[in-house]
């Protein structure tokens, strides 16, 4: 019987080729010669009795059998990572990696704060983050590229297990000296007279705005529409305008152009859910499970 780690290495070859769509590119990524990768894939195909990849003039594409095999391979690799993490924990090594996929709104304040606080007591735990759109967050989880994900107002998905969700109110983000900061309560109608930066329809906050506006005569005419929170925030500061985001995504006040988050009080404007989730079928590595408990505390205090 072949060694376990060698078998896993060959599964990594298949996974890399599936991601790259090319044996040559996968070999470069794995830092091995392409002939070795191709030979191992041919060995696996011969063993299971069917092709995993359709060879084309410009790369390869997974067959139906390949799709099934890659899903199996990714689960095996994720399970091995979890087991190795548990073994390290038993040995009190306290090493490991936490892989997080999150929407951009978590990158300014929540994630840096949570990671820094966690590493004060777990200095040998390292982090890899993927900042992306809400649909991509769930794709990273399903393909085992990330262990946990943070996403705002995601659609229901049976493949994702919710570890925690936190209700979040939509806020108007403005510069500290903006005229809106002098109001006791801020409504969407108060924002209309200023340059508006609206999230595009790939972002969860836009769905809340559209749902509310569909029942009102109020219309928002954006000067800027974007899928980048950083761009929208910087535009609002430089133009004297307004952008919209959940309060937990507010950047630190000490940064240049620090902003104020003004909760919108319009009756009928729904609140959204910030969801911490993971792929439903897997178990988390020890390091990730510990970080999840820490992150839950950060979210509860937000």
* Helix (H), strand (E), coil (C) string for 158-198: CCEEEEEEEEECEEEEECCCCHHHHCCCECHHHHCCCCEEE
Residue predicted with more confidence, 223 or 10 = 223
271 versus 236: the higher-pLDDT residue is 236
pLDDT computed for residue 253 by the predictor: 52
In this predicted structure, which of 136-145, 185-194, 229-238, 245-254 has the lowest mean pLDDT?
245-254
**What is the rounded average pLDDT of the residues 154-169?**
90
**pLDDT of 77 over the 80 cut:** yes
Q: Percentage of residues in the chain with pLDDT exceeding 90?
A: 42
Instruction: Report how far residue 208's alpha carbon sits from residue 210's, in angstroms, rounded to the nearest whole number.
Output: 6
Counting residues of the chain whose pLDDT is more than 70, the rounded percentage is: 92
Using CB atoms within 10 Å of the CB of residue 60, give its burial: 0 to 12 exposed, 13 to 18 middle, 19+ buried.
buried
Residue 104 neighbours by CB distance under 10 Å: 19
Residue 247 has pLDDT above 50, yes or no: yes
Residue range 185-235, pLDDT digits in tens: 999 999 999 999 998 887 878 888 988 888 888 888 999 999 888 899 899
- The per-residue pLDDT for 93 is 45
Q: What is the mean pLDDT of the chain?
A: 86
- Name which residue leads in pLDDT, 6 or 133: 133
Predicted structure pTM score: 0.67
Tell me, what's the pLDDT at 229?
A: 86
What confidence score (pLDDT) does residue 282 get? Answer: 85
- Reported as a single tens digit per residue, the pLDDT across 254-271 is 444 578 889 999 998 888
Higher pLDDT: 92 or 173? It is: 173
pLDDT at residue 153, as a whole number: 85
Mean pLDDT, residues 122-142 taken together:
91
Single out the residue of 190, 102, 204 nearest to residue 153, CA to CA.
204
At residue 155, the pLDDT reads 83
What pLDDT shows up at residue 291? 92
C-alpha to C-alpha distances, 18 to 22, 77, 164, 207, 277, nearest whole angstrom? 8, 15, 32, 34, 25
Closest CA to 118 of 283, 292, 281, 1: 292
């Amino acid at each position: 019987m072949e060694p376990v780690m060698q078998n896993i290495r060959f599964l990594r070859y298949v996974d890399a080729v599936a991601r790259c769509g090319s044996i040559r590119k996968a070999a470069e990524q794995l830092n091995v010669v392409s002939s070795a990768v191709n030979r191992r894939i041919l060995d696996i195909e011969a063993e299971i009795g069917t092709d995993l990849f359709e060879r084309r003039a410009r790369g390869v594409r997974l067959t139906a059998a390949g799709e099934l095999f890659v899903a199996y391979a990714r689960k095996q690799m994720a399970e091995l990572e979890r087991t190795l993490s548990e073994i390290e924990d038993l040995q009190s090594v306290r090493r490991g990696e936490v892989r997080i996929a999150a929407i951009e709104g978590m990158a300014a304040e929540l994630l840096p704060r949570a990671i820094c606080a966690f590493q004060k007591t777990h200095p040998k735990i390292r982090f890899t983050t993927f900042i992306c759109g809400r649909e991509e967050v769930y794709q990273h989880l399903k393909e085992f590229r990330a262990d946990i994900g943070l996403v705002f107002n995601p659609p229901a998905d049976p493949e994702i297990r919710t570890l925690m969700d936190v209700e979040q109110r939509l806020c108007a983000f403005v510069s500290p000296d903006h005229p809106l900061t002098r109001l006791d309560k801020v409504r969407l109608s108060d924002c209309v007279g200023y340059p508006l930066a609206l999230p595009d329809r790939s972002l969860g906050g836009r769905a809340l705005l559209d749902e509310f506006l569909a029942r009102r005569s109020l219309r928002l005419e954006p000067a800027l529409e974007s899928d980048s929170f950083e761009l929208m925030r910087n535009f609002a500061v430089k133009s004297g305008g307004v952008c919209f985001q959940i309060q937990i995504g507010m950047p630190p006040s000490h940064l240049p152009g620090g902003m104020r988050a003004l909760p919108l009080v319009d009756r009928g404007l729904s609140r959204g859910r910030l969801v911490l989730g993971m792929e439903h079928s897997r178990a988390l590595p020890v390091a990730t499970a510990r970080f999840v408990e820490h992150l839950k505390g950060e979210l509860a205090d937000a």
